[in-house]
């Protein structure tokens, strides 16, 4: 089945520890994204990547880091510098818009099931 997987579903960490969240897609999408969701709120963009070996900061990148060494993988590291790391983390992908004349549907983002991180 094609889709986006995130693991684990639930993650617990002690304060001060770095933790890496996994995101894998087999949709052959160029672009991948990480969002954070807090209770009762919308989604806020952390980082995004339009192509392998390239990524850009989103609106709330402080305290996070990413890598994009493979097209299908976009792991997110929550570092000890992130002041309030407890949240629901969502990964998404889209076909991307690098090609001139690409259909508008290439912008549609599809989400994984999410990872709930709790820092104790």
Partner 1 sequence: GQQLNQSPQSMFIQEGEDVSMNCTSSSIFNTWLWYKQDPGEGPVLLIALYKAGELTSNGRLTAQFGITRKDSFLNISASIPSDVGIYFCAGLNTGTASKLTFGTGTRLQVTL
Size of the site for partner 1 (CB under 8 A): 32
Residue choice 18, 41, 53, 118 for contact with partner 1 (CB under 8 A): 41
Check residue 11 for interaction with partner 1 (CB under 8 A).
no
The verdict on 61 binding partner 1 (CB under 8 A) reads no
CA distance 11 to 75: 14
Name the token pair of 47: 């980082």
Closest residue by Cα to residue 36 from 73, 86, 102, 89: 89
Interacting span for partner 1 (CB under 8 A) from 14-22, 70-78, 79-87, 104-112? 104-112
Q: Considering only residues 27, 52, 60, 75, which one is a binding residue for partner 1 as defined by CB under 8 A?
A: 60
- Give exposure, 25-48, as e/b (b: 16+ Cβ within 10 Å): beeebbbbbbbbeeeeeebebbbb
- 8 Å CB contact between 38 and 89: no
User: Rule CB under 8 A: is residue 43 a binding residue for partner 1?
Assistant: yes
Residues that bind partner 1 (CB under 8 A): 4, 6, 31, 40-45, 48, 50, 56, 58-60, 88, 90, 92, 94, 96-97, 104-105, 107-114, 116
């Amino acid at each position: 089945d094609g889709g986006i997987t995130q693991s684990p579903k639930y993650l617990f960490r002690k304060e001060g520890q770095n933790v890496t969240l996994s995101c894998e897609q087999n949709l052959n999408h160029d672009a991948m994204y990480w969002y954070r969701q807090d209770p009762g709120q919308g989604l806020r963009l952390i980082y995004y990547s339009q192509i392998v070996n390239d990524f850009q900061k989103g609106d709330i990148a402080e305290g996070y880091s990413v890598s994009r060494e493979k097209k299908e993988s976009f792991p997110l590291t929550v570092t000890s510098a992130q002041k309030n790391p407890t949240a629901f983390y969502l990964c998404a992908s889209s076909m991307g818009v690098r090609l001139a004349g690409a259909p508008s549907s290439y912008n549609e983002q599809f989400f994984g099931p999410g990872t709930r991180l709790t820092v104790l």
